Amino acid sequence: MNFKQKINPKALPQHVAIIMDGNGRWAKGFGKLRIFGHQNGVTAVREALEGCIEIGVPYLTLYAFSSENWNRPKFEVNALMELLVDTLTKETKTFLENDIRLNAIGNIADLPENCKTKLKDTIALTKNNNKCILTLALSYGSRREIIDATKSIAKQVIAGKLNIDDIDENLFGNSLYTAGMPDPDLMIRTSGEQRISNYLLYQMAYTEFCFLKKMWPEFKRDDLFEAIYNYQQRERRYGKTSEQL
């Protein structure tokens, strides 16, 4: 089926978040090292990003490295960091040509120096781009993000700059790393796992979930289109009844 043609352009998700999972298992299936899966995962990143550009999804957020992923073998962590630098170097041209702005969320300070520099430079180079905001969640953990937000709000209260009664969902949301971004409308996770692994816990209160069996390196833009089409068939009730909508 041609899902792209069936998508209603007037009801696109404004923000798609993806948990790119299954690289290691995919590689093992070919008798290769896990890192081979990560390398091939980059092709799938391009598919997802080009798919968003093609139909006009303005926010794409990719879970690239979780705070818990630091506990993986050092060899794998180093390889992932190198892959990040390599990929950003290679893709800068694409970002500039396609009006893509790079953004990063997470505990960026913990990344190796060369990653931080590359990220900072690419973010600066693309800062005026507007068609699609590509956010990479790196060294990202949602519980830590919520705690960081709580601390920054508490500090403002102690300093007398903020009244406790002014703390509401809007202020809290704007104290998260994702300040200014709409909440994800659709979250896609590959690899068959059905969990959110410390990803955007606060932001996904009303997100629609799509779990795919295929591994991340196998993800194609048609998978994105199919997920968006399926998303559009759902009724988002936000606690109301169907009749009220």
CA-angle at 107, arms to 101 and 108, nearest 5°: 50
Tell me which of 191, 210, 217, 223 binds ligand IPE, using CB under 6 A. Answer: 191
Looking only at residues 1 through 30 of this chain, which bind Mg ion when binding is defined by CB under 5 A?
21
Q: Are 181 and 135 in contact (CB under 8 A)?
A: yes
Q: Is 145 in the site for ligand IPE (CB under 6 A)?
A: no
Question: Which residue is closest to ligand IPE by CB?
Answer: 24
Listed residue (97, 118, 101) closest to 60, CA to CA: 101
Pick 135 or 191: Cβ nearer ligand IPE: 191
Catalytic residues: 21, 69
Q: Are 7 and 226 in contact (CB under 8 A)?
A: no
Task: Please work out the total of residues on this chain that contact ligand IPE, with binding judged by CB under 6 A.
Answer: 18
User: Tokens 């905001």 — which residue?
Assistant: 133
Listed residue (62, 56, 133) closest to 101, CA to CA: 133
Bridge partners (DSSP) listed for residue 17: 61, 187
CA distances from 66 to 129, 207, 222, 230, 235 (A): 26, 20, 26, 28, 31
Q: Is 65 in the site for Mg ion (CB under 5 A)?
A: no
DSSP at 190: -
Pick 59 or 219: Cβ nearer ligand IPE: 219
Question: What x/- string results for residues 68 through 97 when contact with ligand IPE is judged by CB under 6 A?
Answer: -x----------x-----------------
What are the strands, taking DSSP E only, across 28-172? 59-66, 100-105, 132-140
Q: Is 19 in the site for ligand IPE (CB under 6 A)?
A: yes
Q: What is the C-alpha separation between 42 and 219, in angstroms, rounded?
A: 10
Query: With CB under 6 A as the contact rule, which of the stretches 42-50, 84-92, 112-120, 187-195 interacts with ligand IPE?
Result: 187-195
User: Could you tell me the two tokens for 116?
Assistant: 């931080």
Tell me which of 12, 16, 17, 24 binds ligand IPE, using CB under 6 A. Answer: 24
Pick 21 or 145: Cβ nearer Mg ion: 21
Query: With CB under 6 A as the contact rule, which of the stretches 65-73, 93-101, 153-161, 204-212 interacts with ligand IPE?
Result: 65-73
Query: Which residue ranges make up the site for ligand IPE (CB under 6 A)?
Result: 19-25, 63-66, 69, 80, 191, 193, 195, 197, 216
Query: Which residue ranges make up the site for Mg ion (CB under 5 A)?
Result: 21
